[in-house]
Amino acid sequence: MSTWFITGCSTGLGRALAKAVLAHGDNCVVTARDVSKVQDLVDANPDSAFALALDVTDAAQVASAVREAEGRFGGIDVLVNNAGYGYRSAVEEGSEADVAHLFATNFFGAVAMIKAVLPSMRERRSGSIVNISSIGARISPAGSGYYAASKAALESLSGSLRKELEPLGISVMAVEPGSFRTDFAGRSLTQSAEPIADYAETAGVRRKENDTVHGTQPGDPVKAAEAIIRAVESPDAPFMLLLGEDSLTQFRGTLDALRADSDAWETTSRGTGFANG
């Protein structure tokens, strides 16, 4: 039996994953800023679920939550950094305070959680860290530059972290979901307060008042949760887990476009070294 610690379990993928983990017979620390929103999971699984209030931007609360979780179950086997939210804005429109809070949650909150669980994982020479990113980190849609940047930062950190932890028996996986039928495009989505008219046909198309996809996304969070569990438990777990037909298609399309660009400029790239002789 493994113990999972999942951030952001009140709705969406985090909640679906917590329910799936518990259904598989594992222990699960379910967290949310408002702990009452996950109490039903504990009521249904009193022996294996443990609810904690957690705001990942609060360093003291992060440290306390990890201590309590380790005290309850004896150790954390799988950390899932799921807590986060969306922010839509043209780059010029973005509020400095809004962007700072976005990174505090989506990136630095995950960093704080990683640093809190690693001492125990290193001591045991085992564990898994799962960082929930987004296909947005790969395709960088207009109007989602700051959100994509926060997830791209998490992915880059994950790549370095994997190289540091693999020799210690600890795995790291980044997950890139596409569009899933969660509350991401609803309650969990924020945007710049003052739109600029010049961006109406680019970033403006993605503003909440223009969004028509909420509630119709093709991805099933229940199936995504099962895929994450399967990948974590696999002896050949991937570093990058793509979730959704749209994510897979867009990921490959981006790679193809980058390859074509690099091929087209190969001569220029190679011609920047000192001449021989």
Residues labelled catalytic:
133, 147, 151
In this structure, are residues 211 and 145 in contact, taking their beta carbons and an 8 Å threshold?
A: no
Q: With contact defined as beta carbons under 8 Å apart, do 221 and 177 qualify? A: no
Residue with tokens 């739109």: 195
d(CA 180, CA 15): 13
The pair of three-digit structure tokens given for residue 198, joined into one six-digit string: 């010049």
Q: What is residue 211's DSSP assignment?
A: -
Centroid of chain to Cα 122: 22
Please, are residues 4 and 21 in contact by the beta-carbon 8 Å criterion? yes
Q: How many CB atoms neighbour CB 260 within 10 A? A: 10
- Amino acid symbol at 70: E
Residue 234 phi/psi, 5-degree rounding, is -75, 140
Q: Which amino acid is at 226?
A: E
Q: Any idea which residue has 């949310």 for tokens?
A: 32
Phi/psi for 103 (5° steps) reads -70, -35
Rg value, the chain, Cα: 20
State whether residue 98 is helix, strand or coil: helix
